[in-house]
Amino acid sequence: MPVSILYYALFVIALGAALMVVLSRNTVYSAAFLILTMLCLAGIFLLMHQEFVAAIQVIVYAGAIMVLFLFVIMLLNLREREILLPDFRSLRIWVVLLVLVFFVQVGATCFIVLRQMRDVYPPELPPDTIPLIAKTLLTKYLLPFELVSVLLVIAIIGAAMIARHDEPAEHSDSS
C-alpha cells in the first residue's frame, strides 16, 4: 500500500530533520531543517485529509514564522565562536547510542500508531473540512476560540513591554 509508505517516509524525514535542527551547529541550517520538518508535517496532515490544517501549516509556520526566524538569526549575525551550542565531538559514542535508542523508540511508536490509525481514520472524509472547522470553532469550541484572543492580547502586551524604549529610572517618578 503506497499511502502507508508515504506516511513512513514523511515521519522519518520529519524526525530526521527535527533531529538536525538540534544537532546542526549553524543556526541558519537549523532554521532550514525546521522548515523541512514543518513541510513534512503538512504532508502528513494532507494524507489525513486535513487540507485546511496542511495549508495553514505551510502558510503560517513554514512561511511566515520561519521567515521571521531567519530574519532574526541573520540580523543577530552570530559568528562561529559565538555559537553557544556545546561541542558534541568528544561525546560521539554517546550521541550515536542515544540517537540509535531514539530511533528505535520512534520507529516502534510510529509502527504502532500507524497500525492503529488504519482502523481509526476512515479513508473517506467529508471533502470540505474548512466549513466543518469553522462551525465547530464558533459553536462547540467557542470559549477556547475567545481565550486564544485573550492569550494573543497578553502576548502583544509582553512584546510591547520588551520592545519599548526604557525611560531612565531617575525620571520615572514623574513619567
Partner 1 sequence: MMSQPTVPQLFWVEVAPFVVLCIWALAIILADLFLPAERRRVALPLGFLGVVLIAYLSIQAFEIPGNPFGGMLTLDTFAFFCIVVILVGGGLTILISPRYVQREHIPHGEYTALLLFAMLGMILLAVSNELITLLLSLEILSLSLYILTGIERHNPRSSEAALKYFLLGAFSTAFLIMGIAFLYGATGSTFLVTIAERLPAAGQQSALWVFVGFGLILAGFCFKLALAPLHMWAPDVYEGAPTPITAFIATGSKVAGFAALWHVVMSLADWQAMTQNTFYVLWIIAVFSMVIGNFAAIVQKNIKRLLAYSSIAHSGYILITILVIASVPAVRTNATQALLYYLMAYMLMNLLAFGVAIACGRKGDSNIEHYAGLARTSPLLAAAMALAMLSLTGVPPTVGFVGKFYIFSAAIQAGYLELAIIGLLASVVSAVYYLRVIVVMYMHEPSREAAETAREPVGAANSLALLVSSVMIILLGIFPFWFLGLK
Residues that bind partner 1 (CB under 8 A): 116, 126, 131-132, 135, 138-144, 147-148, 150-151, 153-155, 157-158, 161-162, 166, 169, 172-175
Cα-based angle 85, 68, 151 (whole degrees, multiple of 5): 100
CB of 11 to partner 1, least distance (A): 16
Q: Which three cell numbers stand for residue 28?
A: 541558519
CB of 58 to partner 1, least distance (A): 21
For cell 544537532, name the residue: 23
Q: Give 96 or 151: the residue with its C-beta nearer to partner 1.
A: 151
HEC letters along 1-50: CHHHHHHHHHHHHHHHHHHHHHHCCCHHHHHHHHHHHHHHHHHHHHHCCC
CB of 82 to partner 1, least distance (A): 18
Q: Give 80 or 124: the residue with its C-beta nearer to partner 1.
A: 124
